Amino acid sequence: MPQLGVSTVLITDFDLATNLVSLAVKHVVDYMKARGIKVDVLYGDNAIRSKAIESIEKNDPIFFFGMGHGSIVYFTGQGFNYVFWSCDCKELKGRVVFLLSCNTGADLGADIVNKGGLCFIGYKREFVWIQEKTQNPLNDRYGRGFFESALEIVYRLASGDTTGKAFKASIDRWNYWIDYWTRSDDPVAPLVIALMINDRDCQVIYGDENAKIIEVPMPEIQWYVLSALFASIPLITVGGAIMSNEMKKVIV
């Protein structure tokens, strides 16, 4: 039976999009560990199917958090190694799953729950964001709001909230940032708003919204707005990237 307070986290890092997201995800991993959650981190070359299966079989985690590229029917790890796909996700039975990955909420997420997964949270379209510089998006003027909002799910779960409450807190965070940029006179604000609305509206939850990954509640996270000087603006998705200087799209 899946163990409360135990998690497997798969973090890819092999291209622009996954490199940037990995910088943000490392913060939430540290938070989980600080809250007493046992976390088996599969990073980089270890972010592959065989390692994921091994970790799940060994640790029996209640929570599987994966960051990588995906499609409607599959989730991939390092170098596009297939990790889980529709009709082959039985290892996630009884677990809470959050995939920070494009499109996996369209079919794979529902299939995970249909195959016995406790709860799934993910995105049914491309997860897209924009940031000012090539750096940790949490430290970026434009990128911060995207990843505060998405990773609020993990922070809340690690603090003892149910999946339903964590999902709602994330939506509330999206709405906070959308409102923030609506009141901004930054010329990039309309693009930021459009992308945030896309991510908010394609964020889905299936299964048990009363599920938890840890029993002990923790204090709520307090967020602060940072500002930065305007520079080049790369538009990035977990399915591709557009660098404003060259306007070159990289499909992944």
CATH of the domain at 55: 3.40.50.1460
Residue 26, pLDDT score: 96
The b/e string for 90-123 (b: 16+ C-beta within 10 A; e otherwise) is ebbeebbbbbbbbbbbbbbbbbbbeeebbbbbbb
* pLDDT at residue 240 is higher than 80: no
Residue 88, pLDDT score: 87
* pLDDT at residue 230 is higher than 90: no
Domain housing 101: 3-251
**pLDDT (tens digit per residue) in 9-26:** 999 999 999 999 999 999
Residue 235, pLDDT score: 53
**pLDDT (tens digit per residue) in 117-168:** 999 999 999 999 999 999 999 999 999 999 999 999 999 999 999 999 999 9
Task: Answer left, alpha or beta for residue 183, where phi above 0 means left and psi between -120 and 50 means alpha.
Answer: alpha
Domain count, the chain: 1
User: Torsions phi, psi of 88, nearest 5?
Assistant: -145, 65
**Higher local confidence (pLDDT), 142 or 251:** 142
The average pLDDT across 50-66 equals 98
Q: What is the mean pLDDT of the chain?
A: 89
**pLDDT (tens digit per residue) in 169-224:** 999 999 999 999 999 999 999 999 999 999 999 999 999 999 999 986 545 544 43
The average pLDDT across 30-53 equals 97
Query: Both ends of the chain: CA-CA distance in Å?
Result: 36
C-alpha 41/C-alpha 208 separation (Å) is 25
Residue 215, pLDDT score: 87
Residue 186, pLDDT score: 97
**pLDDT (tens digit per residue) in 74-88:** 999 999 999 999 988
Residue 233, pLDDT score: 44
Q: Reduced to 3 states, what is the DSSP secondary structure of residue 56?
A: helix
Residue pair 230/132 in contact (Cβ under 8 Å)? The answer is yes
* pLDDT at residue 30 is higher than 90: yes
Residue 238, pLDDT score: 56
